[in-house]
Structure 1
Amino acid sequence: MLRTARQGRTALKTAVATIAAIAGIATLAPAQAHAVDETGTTAEEAASIPSTSRGSNDHVLYWNNAILDIFRHAGGTPGPLTRGGAMMDLAIYDAVNSIRTIGKPYLTKDTTAAGSYGSLNTAIDYAAYTTLKNAFPNYPRTDLDAKLKAALAMPDSGNAAQRDKGKKLGIKTGNALVANRAYDNSGDTTPYVATEGPGYWAPAPGRPAGAPNWGKVKPFALASGDQFRPGNIGGFSSPEELLKSPEYAAQVNEIKRIGRKNSTERTADQTEIAHYWANDLDGTYKPVGQQYDHTIVIFKKYRPNGSSFESAKLFGLTSVALADAAIAIWDSKFESDWDVWRPTDAIRRAGEVPNPDLVADPTWEPQEQDLAGNSFSPNFPTYVSGHSGVAGAWAGIVRSYFGTDNISFTAGTDDPLAKGVTRSFTTLSGAAQEKADSRKYIGVHFEWDNAAALDLGTQVSDQVYKSILN
């Protein structure tokens, strides 16, 4: 069964190795990277692209950084955050793609905007603004207006007429995304009804289940949330079969040792990893925000002279992969055969389980904790892991965009228990695997939660990359 639990990481590594072998790709050095334009821009065409769409003036990067403040304000589960992010980046993409073709349109393409480079930045700004005010209605409008004002004040080569044209284009593509998502089931508030008994997850007292209906939301690229639904946890047909197995005991006992609050069996580096990737507390940019942040870091390193035509493609794909991964993960958590309890219950209530290899510890607490030091587990079922699933989707889509897994980067975190911490990675799959492992070190997930989620995320990213924009 431990072999089964490792299938997710094996699938991710195998896919990466296969792609690299076919393409004959070695590590992508920063100097090499920006010589290859993802949009196929020739040297002559590049000369016509305004410098005000590049580097620190890239409005796509500006808005994908600005949305992190919205994530910090909104908090909550990944689904609504990634939905808003995908709406924003797809509206931006369709606006950019109207000015210069970089792929298939997602919803719309205004051919009258072709070649209007002076409209580019303003189109991006209003596409972002139009979608964000709809997707995040509780975010203070004054703050969103201030972000728009700051974007419009950035250097721009467009004249007044071009910028007015860009404004109309951005509003048009933004409204198209808003209309497209108006009846996507994201507003489903059907109450969650828990199943009682060993092995079944139930909400903590006073804390409602986190977005229990999100698995039924209409995806952006997948056919449905259950398109790549993994089998039951561990491959077992029922909770009863799972709970009495030696494989289950091995998984529980691993987390009992290394996921315990202040565990002496967890290394200092593992504890750092646990908190570096957490970002579970509201007020942080959340686990999905970390993937946005790391994508910005990577783009700046490997496309130092890249334009909004490149970043719009990358973030359009990335945002959709994260949004559809969130839907698929929540489908697995709440829509599959049973909602599986987390390690805390599995360890504290082990006496209710007919398994001779388990000993209950009613006082056990996970390393996951709030600023007051109180331990907690996220308030939704364990299978599959959200962190691991979005990490797998992110690694897969960024790998496909750059054509290699061998992307080295150093990046930070928003987690208050890892302030100032940066970590370095040599591959995208390595970063995703570390994020998955972090959930064991922090005591809130089993290995098979992570392995299945990595595999799920990879399947989502592959589907997104082959089905839209390209």
Structure 2
Amino acid sequence: MKKIVLALVLGLAAAGLSAPADAEPQVDSVRVWNELALTAVRATRATDADAARTYAMLNVAIYDAVNGLAHPARAHALVPGPGPRGADSRAAAVAAAHVVLVRLDPARVVEYDAQLQADLAGLRPGHQRDAGVRWGREVGVRVVTSRTDDGSTPVQTQPAGAGPGVFRAEWSGVQYRDVRPFAVTDPAAHVPGPPPALDSLDYAAAFAEVALLGDAAITAPDKLATFEFWSVPTGTGQPAGEWVKIALTVSQDLPLPASARLMALLTMTLADTTVPTVATKFTYRHWRPATAIREADTDGNPWTQPNPSWAPRAGSVGGTPEYPSGHSSYSGAAAAVLAGFFCADTIRFTHTTDTAPGGQARTYPSFSAAAAEAGKSRVFGGQHFEFSNQAGLAVGRGVATEVLATRLLKRTGPSHHGDCPL
């Protein structure tokens, strides 16, 4: 814990912030409203793309509500300030969060209303609180309005494919390849080149690896546990949600403005990572290892051998095209944002995912170590080739690099300390 606190202090310094003895701790509502969003994603069985969008809308609203009351303010995310001078930033944050979650998850409006009232009851009543509420509601409405035509609906589907190298099943959610980003200028700039050719040695090497490590017929409790830990399918907080949880863990001592900025940077990056990830899947339609291994006699590669009875350790083939790994994309993006924000990758933390076997936590020495394990877990599950893991990690890191370099920076003065955004 001492190492985490030290890293947070260094992160504050790198961000151009100070932490005087009487500084207020992180506002609980940042955590509470993100945990409510996680619950909503689980309850609504949101897709990974929809989940990332939800987290981004929530945290952008919180950030813009708080930032609009700061003097001087940083660059805004979606809603420029200024808000009313002297308004309570805590009231603004919870009011903005409330608007977003009520609009995105109306089935739980009673719970959101109760949380809002509890949060406001903890603040001093009066003009400042009321002004903060009005400003936060305005920001929340404007965030929701700005994303109503972002391309995330209606749902579009790519038909099932056929032939060697092609993903066979129909899959939905392909509209996300064209969704308007939150932070990056051109998501297409982050789309990688194609996977290795089916008849290449590189493909055969990746084929051999997943055929062994991801084979359900081979008993490997450690590989299975790692896959399950990071599997987080529909009905959980989804991959993006695990990194929201990690961010909340390592940022618990930050003051409200810094916490709001971190969560906005993180979730905008996660949401924007969805776009090139889906675009790449849609473009290349690469087959999953299960199909590839069972039908290796059709790939034209002399170094691959078919195994018609092969089954992935995960128990399923996978529901979207294989290249790249979406879990890897989200993990690479989040790890890069957290390391960039704190100007330190080697921050030790303990984490339990929604699908951790037996609820057992794991401890990681760095953000990148957790991302590497999350990506490799997809190979252990027989869901992805290693080249798709590496491509996903690179996509996420690329999006994160652009976001950290260009968004939510100071309006005047130096914007970076080395590679770290101030």
TM-score normalized with structure 1 length: 0.81
* 1:129 and 2:74 correspond: no
Q: Confirm whether residue 141 of structure 1 aligns to residue 93 of structure 2.
A: no
Q: Does structure 1 residue 104 correspond to structure 2 residue 69? A: no
**1:230 has 2:192 as partner:** yes
Using the TM superposition, give the Cα deviation of residue 432 of structure 1 relative to its aligned residue in structure 2, in angstroms.
0.8
Equivalent in the alignment of 1:63? 33
- RMSD, aligned α-carbons: 2.2
Q: Which runs of structure 2 are paired with 1:31-180 in the superposition (5 Å)?
A: 31=6, 33-34=8-9, 37=12, 40-42=16-18, 47=22, 51=24, 54-55=25-26, 57-100=27-70, 101=72, 103-116=74-87, 119-137=88-106, 139-153=107-121, 155-156=122-123, 158-180=124-146
Partner of 2:240: 288
Partner Cα separation in structure 2 for residue 402 and residue 329 of structure 1: 26
Q: What secondary structure is seen at the aligned counterpart in 2 of 1:277?
A: helix
- In the other structure, the counterpart of 1:250 is 205
1:360 pairs, out of 306, 325, 329, with 306
Structure 1 411/102 Cα, relative in aligned 2: closer, same or farther at 3 Å? farther
**Cα offset, 1:408, TM superposition:** 0.9
Question: In the alignment, what sits opposite 2:255?
Answer: 307
Does the alignment pair 1:423 with 2:362?
A: yes
Contact persistence 1:390–1:457 (CA under 8 A): yes
Task: Provide, for residues 248-270 of structure 1, a one-character-per-residue CA deviation record: whole Å limited to 9, x for no partner.
Answer: 22212211111112523x4x333
Measure, in 2, the Cα distance between the counterparts of 1:447 and 1:32: 32
Q: Which residue of 2 aligns with 1:278?
A: 231
CA deviations 1:203-237 (Å, max 9, x no partner) are 1xxxx513122111111112233121100012xxx
Q: Deviations over 1:441-467 (max 9, x none)?
A: 111000000101111111100111122
Q: SS in structure 2 opposite 1:410?
A: strand
- Secondary structure of the structure 2 residue equivalent to 1:34: helix
Residue of structure 2 in register with 1:6 after alignment? none
Cα distance in 2 for partners of 1:269, 1:467 equals 40
CA contact (8 A) 2:160 2:171 kept: no
Secondary structure, counterpart of 1:358 in structure 2: coil
* Contact map agreement 1:230 1:452 (CA 8 A) in 2: yes
- C-alpha change, 1:143 and 1:367, in structure 2 (3 Å) is farther
Alpha-carbon shift at residue 166 of structure 1 (Å): 1.4
Question: What is the CA-CA distance between 1:437 and the residue it aligns to?
Answer: 0.6
- The answer on whether the counterparts of 1:110 and 1:169 sit within 8 Å (CA) in structure 2 is no
Which amino acid in structure 1 is aligned with residue 194 of structure 2? Answer: N
Deviation, 1:96, is 0.5
In structure 1, how many angstroms separate the alpha carbons of the residues matched to 2:384 and 2:198?
A: 16
Which whole-Å deviations, capped at 9, do the CAs of 1:130-151 have from their partners, x for residues lacking one?
Answer: 12223345x4333333443443
Q: Which residue of 2 aligns with 1:8?
A: none
8 A Cα contact 1:102 1:313, kept in partner: no
Give the gaps of 5 or more residues in structure 1: 1-26, 235-241, 369-374
Residue-by-residue CA offset, 1:88-128 (whole Å, 9 max, x unaligned): 11111011012224521123344343443xx2222111111
Aligned residues: 406
Q: What is the Cα deviation at residue 320 of structure 1? A: 0.4
Contact 2:10 2:342 in 1 (8 A): no
Q: Distance in 2 between matches of 1:277 and 1:171?
A: 36
Q: Specify every segment of 5 or more residues in structure 2 that has no aligned partner in the other structure, as ranges.
A: 410-422
In percent, how many aligned pairs have the same letter?
30
Distance 1:352 1:143 in 2: 55
Task: Tell me, yes or no, if the aligned pair for 2:96 and 2:137 is still in contact at 8 Å.
Answer: yes
Q: Structure 2: which amino acid aligns with 1:296? A: L
Aligned partner of 2:351 in structure 1 is 411
3-state secondary structure, aligned to 1:340 = coil
Partner of 1:447: 386
Deviations 1:355-379 (A, max 9, x none): 23222222222121xxxxxx21331
Instruction: Give me the whole-angstrom Cα distance separating, in 2, the residues matched to 1:115 and 1:262.
Output: 65
2:21 is the counterpart of 1:30: no
Q: Tell me the CA shift for residue 197 of structure 1.
A: 0.8
Go from structure 1 to structure 2 and tell me whether the alpha carbon gap of 1:251 and 1:115 turns closer, same or farther (over 3 Å shift). same
Give the superposition deviation at 1:290: 0.7
Aligned to 2:344, the other structure's residue is in SS state coil
The Cα shift of 1:78 comes to 1.5
**Paired residue for 2:416?**
none
Task: Tell me the distance in 2 between the aligned counterparts of 1:428 and 1:233.
Answer: 26
Find the residue that maps to 1:380 and give its secondary structure.
coil
**Distance (whole Å) between structure 2 residues aligned to residue 92 and residue 180 of structure 1:** 15
CA contact (8 A) 1:126 1:171 kept: yes
SS in 1 for 2:228: helix
Name the CA distance, whole Å, in 1 between partners of 2:235 and 2:148.
27
Distance change in 2, residues 1:295/1:209 (3 Å): same
CA distance in structure 2 between the partners assigned to 1:36 and 1:85 by the alignment:
23
How far apart, in 2, do the equivalents of 1:229 and 1:383 lie?
A: 11
SS of the residue corresponding to residue 37 of structure 1 reads helix
Q: Which residue does 1:376 correspond to in 2?
A: 316
**Aligned to 1:364, what secondary structure does the other structure show?**
coil
Which of 243, 246, 249 is the matching residue for 1:297? 249
* SS of alignment partner, residue 111 of structure 1: coil
For 1:199, the equivalent position in structure 2 comes to 165
